[in-house]
Amino acid sequence: MTDSEKIQLSCSVMQECETLQQICDNWIEKQEIEGYSFENDYIYKCLTSGDLPPVENANKDSYQLISVYSTETNELVGFTDIYYGYPDDLTAWISILIIAKEHRNKGFAQEVISLLSTRCKNEGFKKLGIGVYLNNWRALRFWTKAGFNTITGIKGEKDYSTDGFARIMLEKLI
């Protein structure tokens, strides 16, 4: 699919399902940040049905789960996904990007965004979009540093509560 000096991106396949699910399951902060954990078959569902946006006519053909490999070790170090054409025809939406904890702070995630930006721009998209939980400080720092600095929306509960959750939608021109 796409390579750089540090990483290789490839379309995820069923043979990677167990390893990708382990990467999900090892993100122990997810429950605290988002209020729920991954389903035991999250990756399987992504591979078979897609993790589609909540819009009419969303379809698996516009969705792709992408594995991230270290070019140095050829190890599967994380994954991301992309939905082409959400929330509008000019935007490609990233709903998740996870690098396994032991592989963080090596520049892999920045490389993923760089490669996806180039790829999506070459395919005619003008923007990349993401949604981040407001209490996910590490992710907010990463995404804003990566150029996602236009706020397109905020979704959450109407009233504040200590156990409530909210997301901010950001986009980056590519």
What's the rounded Cα separation, in Å, for the pair 107 and 96?
A: 17
117-163 pLDDT tens trace = 999 999 999 999 999 999 899 999 999 999 999 999 999 877 777 77
Predicted TM-score of the model (pTM):
0.93
Instruction: Show the tokens assigned to 89.
Output: 């025809």
Amino acid at 2: T
pLDDT at res. 2: 74
Q: How many contiguous H segments (helices) and E segments (strands) does the chain have?
A: 5, 9
CATH number at residue 88: 3.40.630.30
Q: In total, how many domains does the chain have?
A: 1
Write out the residue range of the structural domain in which residue 50 sits: 2-173
Asked if 37 and 31 touch (Cβ cutoff 8 Å), the reply is: yes
